[in-house]
Amino acid sequence: MTDLTAPLTPLDIAHAAMEAAPEDDAARLRFFERLADSEMFLLLTEEPDGDNITPDVFELSDHSFVLIFDREERLSQFTTRPAPYAALSGRMIAGLLAGQGIGLGVNLEVAPSSILIPPDAVDWLMQTLDNGPQEAEEKIAEFTAPKGLPEALLGAIDAKLASAVGMARMAYLVGVRFESGAQGHMLGFVDALPHAEGALAKAAAEALTFSGIEAGAMDVAFFRAVDAAAGKLAKVGLRFDLPQPDESLATARPAPGSDPNKPPILR
């Protein structure tokens, strides 16, 4: 039973917006973006064995589904008993299931965002997430203040960077003119960790994709705080501060899926 007194989660809010406007592609994209970016609790049949996990698979509506919840207490409310689970991002779960004919049962019976996502939609989500940025080299002639960008894109960038903990100090959204004469917009990251540059570029590309803008492009570049270009970004750009990690927190034993370069193995 859904607890109507519990605070709404970001996934609940995105789901309600999608339900309220079924013809709005942008609202639907934002829901799937929240699902991909959220930590989800995947119901298992037994405790994880190292990196090996065994999801509990249910046959519902002519398809197989695994069950995921965006709060641990929602999983407990559904099972009504202690149950094993793995805490993974929605994107990681979609990657494990893509191509296997298995869908997602999200917050079933315990939240306003209760929904069945069929296998073909899981495959679509993974394909969309796999559309990464393309590398290119152009010399920058000038940075300008960003103009004419829709609020949906600004909100998508803000939401994406809110989960990029410690990957960079900040980012600036600016207009840019290249020496070739081409013009557009750029998201410039300052003091990004070298190993995080790919993930940040992908996050920026996903923000553009899931914002619902049918056409458009946004360049991504990386700068050090000591670079002269970083000062120019600060003068004209829209600043996004990335959250920094709490160094007092430490994990004694990594959970399955905590290393994005070593995803868990379904068995």
Q: If you write DSSP's letter for every residue of 95-109 in order, what string do you get? A: HHHTTTTEEEEESTT
Residues 152 and 125 in one domain: no
Residues 163 and 91 in one domain: no
Q: What is the pLDDT of residue 215?
A: 47
Asked if the model's pLDDT at residue 205 lies above 50, the reply is yes
Domain C-terminal end among 95, 130, 165: 130
Residues 152 and 116 in one domain: no
Residue 170 pairs with which residues in a beta bridge? 190, 241
Q: What is the pLDDT of residue 121?
A: 95
Q: Is residue 267 part of a domain?
A: no
Helix (H) or strand (E) holding 65: strand 63-69
Residues 94 and 61 in one domain: yes
pLDDT tens, residue by residue, 253-264: 555 555 555 656
Residues 149 and 234 in one domain: yes
3-state secondary structure of 87: strand
Provide the mean pLDDT of the chain.
87
Amino acid at site 127: Q
CATH number at residue 219: 3.30.300
Q: How many Å apart are CA 160 and CA 198, to the nearest integer? A: 14
Q: What is the pLDDT of residue 61?
A: 76
Could you tell me the two tokens for 184? 């557009």
DSSP strand pairing (63-69 vs 102-106): parallel
Q: Is residue 250 part of a domain?
A: no
Q: Is residue 54 part of a domain?
A: yes
CATH number at residue 70: 3.40.1350.90
Q: What percent of the chain has pLDDT over 70?
A: 86
DSSP strand pairing (140-144 vs 170-178): antiparallel
Q: Is residue 43 part of a domain?
A: yes
User: What's the distance, CA 84 to chain centroid?
Assistant: 24
Could you tell me the two tokens for 12? 């609940």
Q: Is the dihedral of CA 208, 209, 213, 219 positive or negative?
A: positive
The parent domain of residue 118 ranges over: 10-130
Q: Is residue 20 part of a domain?
A: yes
Domain C-terminal end among 130, 151, 170: 130
Residues 173 and 122 in one domain: no
Residues 119 and 156 in one domain: no
Instruction: pLDDT band for 193, please (50, 70, 90 cuts).
Output: very high
Q: Is residue 15 part of a domain?
A: yes
